[in-house]
Amino acid sequence: MLRLLQWVEVPTAFKDNLKLKQTSAFDRLARARYLWRMRIVLLGAPGSGKGTQAQRLVTRLGVPQISTGDLLRSAVARGTGYGLRAKAAMEIGQLVVDEIVLGIIRERLAESDAALGYVLDGFPRNLAQAEALASMLASIKQPLDAVVLFEVDYGEIARRIAGRRTCPKCGTIYNVHDAATPGITHCKTCVPPPLLTQRPDDNEQTVTKRLAVYDEQTKPLIAHYRAQGLLRTINAQGSVDDVTARLLQALKIKG
Ligand SMILES: [Zn+2]
């Protein structure tokens, strides 16, 4: 009887749920049990807009974004076992080894909000990490459901990053290539308007270097995940809204 009631009630809650930005614990539980669970990796070159879209998926699906950079900082700040090891490595200028990063991800996935899925952003970045991640996820019985590849033109990435300008007073980020702010030089909201500045990393040379690292180390993941039947590819160019629509479509989530 209880089961029958659930079957009758859940689809309605589910339909409304799609339109809600904030989902209730009940909706999330119902959805997870009956409809889907989404464990997603976002894959794409630096500057392809993964971070922005990850935030949108989080809002839509009610699952956490697992960003390894943020996780590391938080584990170090909280002084967890892995956090202390990461801190020790960083203090002597070493890279934090994959084992520590995976340990931190594993701890994060054990928290209750990740039971219904997660959006992993910034990891894995190479084949060794992908394989280590897969065996860790298998050991906690949370294998990936999908890997979404963000396809963008490198010339466009370099152009966009090199066009970024920041207001030193209010922090607003502009782009000299945006249709709304072509060739912008001064902040539009501050009075008197300060001259916008360019971050030292936002130049074509640095971007080209980061893209080369992506090509060499991360790109092999495309074939790796395609062979496993997990890969979905989207065109990540155009407006943020357009890309979100394609992303939801690729994941078969109604917009
Ligand atoms: Zn300003």
Question: H helices within 110-146, ranges in order?
Answer: 127-139
Is 50 labeled as catalytic in the residue annotation? yes
How many angstroms separate the alpha carbon of residue 199 from the centre of ligand 1? Answer: 15
Question: How many helices, marked H, and strands, marked E, lie in the chain?
Answer: 11, 7
Q: What is the mean pLDDT of residues 189-193?
A: 95
Tokens linked to 194: 């300060």
What is the overall mean pLDDT for the chain? 84
Q: What is the mean pLDDT of residues 89-102?
A: 86
Spatial separation of the C-alpha atoms in residues 126 and 123, rounded to whole Å = 8
Angle at 83 between CA 99 and CA 200, to 5 degrees: 90
Strand-pair partners of 44: 150
32 pLDDT higher than 60? no
250 pLDDT higher than 70? yes
The pLDDT-based confidence of 228 (bands split at 50, 70, 90) is very high
- In the set 164, 165, 232, 246, the catalytic residue is 164
- Stretch (H or E) spanning 39: strand 38-44
Spatial separation of the C-alpha atoms in residues 37 and 61, rounded to whole Å = 9
- In the set 56, 106, 210, 219, the catalytic residue is 210
The pLDDT-based confidence of 39 (bands split at 50, 70, 90) is very high
Is 219 labeled as catalytic in the residue annotation? no
How many angstroms separate the alpha carbon of residue 203 from the centre of ligand 1? Answer: 21
Of 108, 163, 92, give the one whose Cα is nearest residue 100. Answer: 108
Contact 43, 149 (CB under 8 A): yes
Is 164 labeled as catalytic in the residue annotation? yes
19 pLDDT higher than 70? no
Cα 20 from chain centre: 21
Q: What is the mean pLDDT of residues 13-25?
A: 48
Of 31, 32, 26, 25, give the one whose Cα is nearest residue 11. Answer: 31
Is 28 labeled as catalytic in the residue annotation? no
Contact 147, 164 (CB under 8 A): no
Beta strand extents in 65-107 (DSSP E only): 65-67
Of 100, 147, 125, give the one whose Cα is nearest residue 215. Answer: 125
Spatial separation of the C-alpha atoms in residues 59 and 74, rounded to whole Å = 21
8 pLDDT higher than 80? no
What pTM value is reported for the model? 0.73
Q: What is the mean pLDDT of residues 196-207?
A: 86
Spatial separation of the C-alpha atoms in residues 237 and 226, rounded to whole Å = 21
Contact 194, 169 (CB under 8 A): yes
> Please, which residues have CB within 8 angstroms of residue 37's CB and are 6 or more apart in sequence?
116, 117, 145
Q: What is the pLDDT of residue 13?
A: 40
Q: What is the mean pLDDT of residues 218-223?
A: 96
- In the set 37, 87, 125, 226, the catalytic residue is 125
Please give the residue that has the higher pLDDT: either 15 or 116. 116
